Amino acid sequence: MTPESDSQQGKLLNALIDIGQELTSTIHLEELLDRILRISREVFRFENAIIRLLDSEEQTLVTVASYGYAEDVVRPVIRVGQGVMGKVAQTGRSVLVSDVAALPDYVAGIHDARSELAVPMVAREKVVGVFNVESPRPNAFRQEDIAPLMTMAGQAAIAIENARLYENLSAMSARCQKLHQFNSRILQSANLGIYTVNEQMEITSWNRKMEELSGASEEEAVGRNLFELFPALKREGFAETIRRVLQKGTLEKMRLAHQNLIGERRFQKRRVTPLKDGDRISGAVVIVEDITEFKALLERTIQSEKLVEVGRLSAGIAHEVNNPLAVISYGAQLLQREESLPTFQRELVDRIESEVERLKTLTGGLLSFSRARETVKRKTKIDDVLRDVLRLVRFELTRHAITLRESYGDPPAVRGDPNKLKQVFINLIMNASHAMKEGGTLSVSTANAEGGGGEVVITDTGPGIPEAVRKQIFDPFFTTKKDGEGTGLGLYICKNIIDEHEGRIVLTTALGAGTAFRIILPAA
């Protein structure tokens, strides 16, 4: 053994002693890792070193300590199996590379790196990390370097595992001290109604969600008999459910429509499980899931599906109507060729022909609107799109005694899908029509938009939108209409379509002064 190797062995022994001392003196993992790197630097005289610990769930290596490496190299994680360090983590065996230029999957490390040595950090027969060094010189490391570095890495791995264990035990101890308080917070913060009753059906706990669902506070509920406080539950058969749970110790589930203390009719799912004190059943835990909103959402979705079917039927009817219209039109054209027709009859034939053309335009617009397809943007005149839409909805406006005012500014063509833009304008116009229940004025105008493109403004003289709901009107399934009158998807779809067209939709409203929607679309 040479004096140089004796010196190396002595330094290694001192390093292992130092790391062993760290096991008893250092409890913080970050401090321990920095100390391990300092010790290894003193022993091996490496110009750089990096420790990456294994995240077994994500199967990645994450840097926890380093020196001699640039920040952009240290920050990214390495997948297990990727590069030299990834292979060491995968196989649990050291890797010595004489020239990294020959590696196809080399992961960038120090500047101008030529050689690399990586050893696994093994504790309790499990790889916990990788210790890695590099050099700008080829063949900078030898096989003889592996054993001492493995020894130190193994000791370091045990130190790291112990530090982790200490941290886990400390955290567990703190959690145990706060367990009761923590459980109480969970109970109060849960989005489900949770309460417990004893064998005498007295309420023993009552969380905040139950206060919201039932209309009874915790002070009012705890200590009271459940069925005296809520006599409706007894009529709904819930008393028998709880008795079965107390007698048999089995889980029970049920759905019911429940009337709470403030007169609301709520639809609920209830799960009742036994509350045990050792082997003895001392009560029951009741978990209440309120599905009132979900049920309403489901009904709106069903209504939406009905509307889709109506759209399909309308398209079919439009096809069917077009066939007799073609026959009527052909007959009118033949009659127009008759030179002997009296003036009165010729006027009737001309009227028939013009009405047929009007009906063809309406059915054509209906078919175009109902046809589902992907967005196809092209140069589109929004004036033309609006005129088509107004032909479709004009009867609806007349039926609601709404005066229509049109103003076209001939803006430049925009890049859009006419069919989807029709959907936006129809939704906004129909919403305005519904807002003016006693009649009113609907104003539709187009103009050049600032910075190019076109804009459409749809204004009604309805009651305006209350401030409390303005921020929610573009949210999905939000509606102020009565159940069954709307799905809450119209404005949400409008905004999505305008966003898809890289445009903007702006709301202006005031109570008692009507509402205006301004749509700005970029030029083609």
- Tens-digit pLDDT profile for residues 167-204: 777 777 667 676 666 666 666 666 788 899 999 999 99
Residue (of 256, 124, 286, 117) closest to 194 by Cα position: 286
Residue (of 507, 370, 362) closest to 435 by Cα position: 507
- In the prediction, which pLDDT does 110 show? 92
Question: DSSP for 405-462?
Answer: EEE---PPPEEE-HHHHHHHHHHHHHHHHHH-TT-EEEEEEEEEPTTSSEEEEEEE-S
Is residue 186 situated within a structural domain?
no
- CA 343/CA 351 separation, integer angstroms: 12
Cβ-contact 115, 132 below 8 angstroms: no
pLDDT band at residue 136 under the 50/70/90 scheme: very high
Do 22 and 107 sit in the same domain of this protein?
yes
pLDDT band at residue 135 under the 50/70/90 scheme: very high
Do 195 and 216 sit in the same domain of this protein?
yes
Is residue 70 situated within a structural domain?
yes
pLDDT band at residue 233 under the 50/70/90 scheme: confident
pLDDT exceeding 70 applies to what percent of the chain?
A: 79
- The stretch 455-465 carries a mean pLDDT of 89
Q: Which is more confident, 87 or 266?
A: 87
Do 127 and 13 sit in the same domain of this protein?
yes
Do 396 and 504 sit in the same domain of this protein?
yes
CATH number at residue 316: 1.10.287.130
Do 102 and 199 sit in the same domain of this protein?
no
Residue 332 pLDDT > 90: no
- In the prediction, which pLDDT does 86 show? 95
pLDDT band at residue 10 under the 50/70/90 scheme: low
- In the prediction, which pLDDT does 69 show? 92
Cβ-contact 169, 163 below 8 angstroms: no
Cβ-contact 265, 257 below 8 angstroms: yes
- The stretch 409-424 carries a mean pLDDT of 87
- In the prediction, which pLDDT does 98 show? 92
Most confident of 25-29, 78-82, 107-111, 316-320: 78-82
Do 504 and 462 sit in the same domain of this protein?
yes
Least confident of 155-159, 240-244, 298-302, 459-463: 298-302
Residue 518: strand pairing partners: 457, 506
The DSSP H or E segment spanning 197 is: strand 193-198
The set of residues, in sequence order, having a beta carbon less than 8 Å from that of 60 and lying 6+ positions away, is: 54, 77, 78, 79, 80
Residue (of 193, 159, 168, 197) closest to 26 by Cα position: 159
How confident is the prediction for the chain on average, in pLDDT? 81
- In the prediction, which pLDDT does 96 show? 95
Residue 417 pLDDT > 80: yes
- In the prediction, which pLDDT does 21 show? 61
- In the prediction, which pLDDT does 484 show? 47
Is residue 184 situated within a structural domain?
no
Do 379 and 496 sit in the same domain of this protein?
yes
Q: What is the number of structural domains in the chain?
A: 4
The set of residues, in sequence order, having a beta carbon less than 8 Å from that of 215 and lying 6+ positions away, is: 260, 261, 262, 264
3-state class (DSSP) for residue 163: helix
CATH number at residue 381: 3.30.565.10
Is residue 197 situated within a structural domain?
yes
Residue 427 pLDDT > 60: yes
Is residue 182 situated within a structural domain?
no
- The stretch 242-246 carries a mean pLDDT of 90
CB atoms within 10 A of CB 205: 17
CATH number at residue 129: 3.30.450.40
Do 151 and 9 sit in the same domain of this protein?
yes
Do 38 and 153 sit in the same domain of this protein?
yes
Q: Where are the alpha helices (DSSP H) in 337-417?
A: 343-370, 382-399
- In the prediction, which pLDDT does 361 show? 65
- CA 479/CA 466 separation, integer angstroms: 13
Do 199 and 67 sit in the same domain of this protein?
no
CB atoms within 10 A of CB 112: 9
- In the prediction, which pLDDT does 1 show? 41
Is residue 185 situated within a structural domain?
no
Residue 138 pLDDT > 70: yes
Which structural domain range is residue 133 located in?
3-175
Q: Which is more confident, 371 or 230?
A: 230
Least confident of 68-77, 217-226, 278-287, 484-493: 484-493
Residue 87 pLDDT > 80: yes
Instruction: Mark which of 232, 256, 290 sits at the end of a domain.
Output: 290
Cβ-contact 404, 386 below 8 angstroms: no
- Tens-digit pLDDT profile for residues 339-363: 777 877 777 777 787 777 767 666 6
Is residue 419 situated within a structural domain?
yes
Is residue 183 situated within a structural domain?
no
- In the prediction, which pLDDT does 488 show? 59
Instruction: Mark which of 329, 357, 372 sits at the end of a domain.
Output: 372
pTM score of the predicted model: 0.38
CATH number at residue 202: 3.30.450.20
- CA 68/CA 165 separation, integer angstroms: 29
pLDDT band at residue 44 under the 50/70/90 scheme: confident
pLDDT band at residue 210 under the 50/70/90 scheme: confident
Do 26 and 105 sit in the same domain of this protein?
yes
Instruction: Mark which of 258, 290, 322 sits at the end of a domain.
Output: 290
Q: Report helix, strand and coil shares of the chain as percent, to nearest 5.
A: 50, 25, 25
Do 460 and 407 sit in the same domain of this protein?
yes
